[in-house]
Amino acid sequence: MAKSKKSDESGLKIIAKNRKAFHEFEILDSWEAGLVLLGSEVKALRAGRCNLGDSYAEIKQGEAWLMKVHIGPYEMANVMNHEPFRRRKLLLNRRELRKIRPRLEEKGLTLVPLKLYFKNGLAKVELGLGRGKKLYDKRHDKAKRDVEMKIRREMGRH
């Protein structure tokens, strides 16, 4: 059974979110990029067969690529189905690439996909420039969330 697709008022149908990225990285900036996909990949995405787990993006020879994104095979496709973990080209304009490249060369920064969605029928990915969190940062964030949840719970009782 396919995952339920969430949609909001702006015509977005969210396929997958990368929750792990927000836990592992401090997101400094984000961009929206298009994806170059095969037909069977689009069908598989519409069926919700995607995982952004350990994925990342990189810039090689002036082009952006999305790596290690798992898009499961589409059962109704013929024998020439797509490779689930193949690298996929990202569609960013030159100005955006020029802005991203020097920041990626800084120590500890990486480009991670935050969510994959359809916008007006086109597959898009939101990329975030992230700096890896230290263990104590993760603990601090968890403690902060716990305090906020306690406050909300107490406010609900009154």
CATH of residue 38's domain is 2.40.280.10
Question: Given CA atoms 7, 9, 12, 18 in this order, what sign does their dihedral have?
Answer: negative
Number of structural domains (the chain) is 1
Check if the beta carbon of residue 21 is closer than 8 Å to that of residue 27: yes
Q: Collect all residues with Cβ–Cβ distance below 8 Å to 11 and sequence separation of at least 6.
A: 119, 120
In eight-state DSSP terms, residue 77 is S
User: Does 153 fall in a domain?
Assistant: no
pLDDT computed for residue 6 by the predictor: 52
User: Does 146 fall in a domain?
Assistant: no
Q: What is the pTM of this model?
A: 0.73
| Structural domain containing residue 117 | 15-133
User: Does 107 fall in a domain?
Assistant: yes
User: Does 148 fall in a domain?
Assistant: no
User: Does 92 fall in a domain?
Assistant: yes
How does pLDDT run across 64-115, given as a tens digit for each residue?
A: 898 988 888 877 767 777 777 888 899 999 998 888 888 888 887 889 999 9
How does pLDDT run across 8-36, given as a tens digit for each residue?
A: 556 788 888 888 888 788 888 889 999 98
How does pLDDT run across 43-70, given as a tens digit for each residue?
A: 888 888 888 888 888 888 888 898 988 8
User: Does 145 fall in a domain?
Assistant: no
Tokens of 32: 């929206």
Distance CA 71, CA 79 (A): 16
Q: Using 50, 70 and 90 to split pLDDT, how confident is the model at 1?
A: very low
User: Does 6 fall in a domain?
Assistant: no
How does pLDDT run across 104-143, given as a tens digit for each residue?
A: 888 878 899 999 999 988 889 999 988 887 777 778 888 8
User: Does 22 fall in a domain?
Assistant: yes
Q: Collect all residues with Cβ–Cβ distance below 8 Å to 156 and sequence separation of at least 6.
A: none
- Residue 113 CB neighbours (<10 A): 24
